[in-house]
Amino acid sequence: MAEKKMWGGRFRQATAALVEEYTQSVSFDRALYAQDIAGSKAHARMLAKQGVLTADEAARIVEGLDMVLAEIEGGTFVWRRELEDVHMNIESRLTELVGDVGKKLHTGRSRNDQVALDFRLFVSDRIRAWRGLARDLVGVLAERAGEHATTLLPGCTHMQPAQPVSLGHHLLAYAWMLRRDAERLADCDRRARVCPLGAAALAGTTYPLDPAFVAEQLDMYGTFRNSMDAVSDRDFVLESLFCGATIMAHLSRLCEEIIIWANPAFGFVRLPDAYATGSSIMPQKKNPDVAEIMRGKTGRVYGALTAMLTTVKGLPMTYNRDMQEDKEPFLDCDRTVSASLEIMAGMLRELGFNEGRMRAALRAGFLNATELADYLVGKGIPFREAHHLTGAAVALAEERNVTLEELPLADLQSICDRIGDDVYPVLDPAAAVARREMPGGTGPASVAAQLAELADWLED
Ligand code: ARG
């Protein structure tokens, strides 16, 4: 009974059934099969190059691993929980297929450096995919922003009307966030895609291994420098989860705005039917469930990051089995981040913008008050005083239930005699936006410059 375990040499009793289920990881780490097989092929070739295996032995192992890969991808591979994890399932099947030579594959290797390699490759592959999806989303945001460089809406602070901005500028704010997310992922990848193979259990090995050759075959940026660090740290998982959490924070904010904008009280957007749902009781309803679910799923990604930070806290050197808990949070984060990025891009592509409602909303909230204050500064009044005078004008307009530009000149002059007829064009929201052409401002030329810079980035 005991000898069915690959590590069972010293064991006399079989593992308790509950323990076997509790400790197994194959139910989830099978997701790493492709990276495990690629890593093993690279290891076998390296062993042959270094004279540890013969060329023929390595060739038979590589061939066998390809057969295993075909079985897994063809759906005929039988995953066995009693073999614990993806690594031992694959190695065991390899030996069944190619015979005793399969038992030589694990020479100079431990599951500790093997799992570190597999997971580094897996995380790297996935965050590269996220990066592509984040870029696609930047592309969609830029496209929609280009269509709306001169569509105006109230810009808010504290969720209160502040100053008019263009919808293009508003959308590009998200494009820049997502661009930084993509850059963060590229940076994270440079540290994740580093080869730990050769660290063995913790101390390195006596075989003349060539980790750089393994790294090169797997298209990695370099090799480990310290074998204990190589098998024991999971900071690449933490970093990638942080990147995922930040992406979700950005998406969740955009979801929140879409949800608010879809409320008929705002009516700024029309949800595409394909990205909305109805109510089972209220026939009139069209709910922004997609955005709500995305906002809600942000919590589980933050949870994954928190879980992983907690798992690694207080682990002594070097490998500890606690680290097996790194897989499920990352896999869950990956499902959430990948789907959310793709769905947000699809939803935004089809989102209808109601320019009329946005323009109408510019009437409420005295969004042009800053313009009046700046106008007074132009007439030689110190800003603090101009601010105060403008406040008085706002109070007067509010009392009469009109906008600032609807106040007759005589009333404005009763507040400050330096106000002339030339104030009215200044109060126009389009003029307010057009005046903000400084770099990064909401003016149309600035938005065009942002678009050009993003287009360059999207190209390379
Ligand atoms: N399933 C394990 C993990 O994910 C593989 C490494 C096991 N190593 C060990 N010495 N038991 O971490």
CATH of the domain at 281: 1.20.200.10
Domain shared by 127 and 205, yes or no: yes
- Domain interval for residue 61: 17-107
Regarding whether 402 and 432 lie in a shared domain, the answer is yes
Q: Can you give the pTM of this predicted structure?
A: 0.95
Atom number, ligand 1, closest to the C-alpha of residue 87: 5
Residues 353 and 321 grouped into a single domain: yes
CATH of the domain at 443: 1.10.40.30
Q: What is the pLDDT of residue 6?
A: 82
115 Cα–ligand 1 center, Å? 7
Q: What is the pLDDT of residue 1?
A: 43
Are 69 and 189 in a shared domain? Answer: no
Residue 187 falls inside a structural domain = yes
- Of the residues 41, 73, 107, the one at which a domain ends: 107
- Active-site choice (158, 170, 227, 338): 158
Dist. CA 257–CA 263, nearest whole Å? 10
Tell me the CA–centroid distance for residue 327 and ligand 1, in Å. Answer: 11
- Substitution candidate for ligand 1 out of 6, 11, 24, 25 with most atoms within 8 A of CB: 25
Tokens of 34: 């492709």
Q: 64 and 85: one domain?
A: yes
CA distance 202 to 72: 30
CA of 90 to the centre of ligand 1 (A): 14
Q: Is residue 1 part of a domain?
A: no
Active-site pick, 279, 280, 340, 414: 279
Q: 358, 379, 397 — which closes off a domain?
A: 358
Q: What is the CATH number of the domain that holds 75?
A: 1.10.275.10
Atom 3 of ligand 1, nearest CA residue: 324
| Residues 318 and 176 reside in one and the same domain | yes
Residues 96, 24: one domain? Answer: yes
Which residue's CA is minimally distant from atom 2 of ligand 1?
A: 324
Judge whether 61 lies within some domain.
yes
| Statement to judge: residues 315 and 395 lie in one domain | no
- Pocket lining for ligand 1, CB < 6 angstroms: 25, 29, 85, 111-112, 115, 319, 321, 323-324
- Identify the segments of the chain with pLDDT beneath 70: 1-3
Q: Which of 19, 115, 234 to mutate to test the pocket of ligand 1 (most atoms within 8 A of CB)?
A: 115
Same domain, 432 and 343: no
Does a structural domain hold residue 158?
A: no
Single out the residue in 86, 107, 128 at which a domain terminates.
Answer: 107
Minimum-distance ligand 1 atom for the alpha carbon of 86: 1
Return the pLDDT at 279. Answer: 82
Tell me if 371 is assigned to some domain.
Answer: yes
Q: Is residue 9 part of a domain?
A: no
The number of domains in the chain is 3
46 and 138 share one domain: no
Residues 349 and 439 in one domain: no
pLDDT in tens, 392-427: 999 999 999 999 999 999 999 999 999 999 999 999
Is 158 annotated in the active site? yes
Is residue 55 assigned to a domain? yes
Distance between Cα 112 and ligand 1 center (Å): 6
Q: Is residue 194 part of a domain?
A: yes
CA–centroid distance, 388 to ligand 1, in Å, is 68
Is 388 part of the annotated catalytic residue set? no
Q: Are residues 181 and 319 in the same domain?
A: yes
Pocket test of ligand 1: the residue of 19, 324, 325, 331 to mutate, having most ligand atoms within 8 Å of its CB, is: 324
> From the alpha carbon of 319, which atom of ligand 1 is closest?
10
Question: Could you tell which of 20, 35, 111 is best to mutate to test the pocket of ligand 1, judged by most ligand atoms within 8 Å of the CB?
Answer: 111
Distance 428 CA to ligand 1 centre (A): 66
